Amino acid sequence: MKLHATLEAVTQRIRQRSQQTRSHYLARLALAADRKPGSEQLGCATEWAAREAASMPEGLRAANAIGMGRELFAAMRRNALTAEAGACSWL
């Protein structure tokens, strides 16, 4: 089936205009397809367990958005269900 001439012209302009960005997008997709899955990149659980836990310096902890409204949502976070349970907070 042949496209209407106007529709064909608009489609052709879109193809020309997006050719460079589309080629970059397709190249990124090809790179992503060649990457290992995340579980293979993270390493084993014993490697993670052997690492020392990082702690936030006291100066950063003191300035970590206290008084910026985060504490208003503490009750919601405390009562929210997990994602597996539907993440409902209407308790």
pLDDT in tens, 2-54: 889 999 999 999 999 999 999 999 999 998 888 877 766 677 778 888 888 88
User: Is the pLDDT assigned to residue 65 strictly greater than 80?
Assistant: no
Cβ within 8 Å of residue 41, ≥6 positions away:
35
The mean pLDDT of 59-73, rounded to a whole number, is 69
User: Which DSSP symbol is given to 6?
Assistant: H
Residue with tokens 């997709």: 29
Q: Count other C-beta atoms under 10 Å from residue 66's C-beta.
A: 10
Q: How far apart are CA 10 and CA 8, in angstroms?
A: 6
Cβ within 8 Å of residue 68, ≥6 positions away:
none
Measured N-to-C along each axis, helices 5-17 and 19-34 cross at an angle, to the nearest 10 degrees, of: 60
77, 69 Cβ separation under 8 angstroms: no
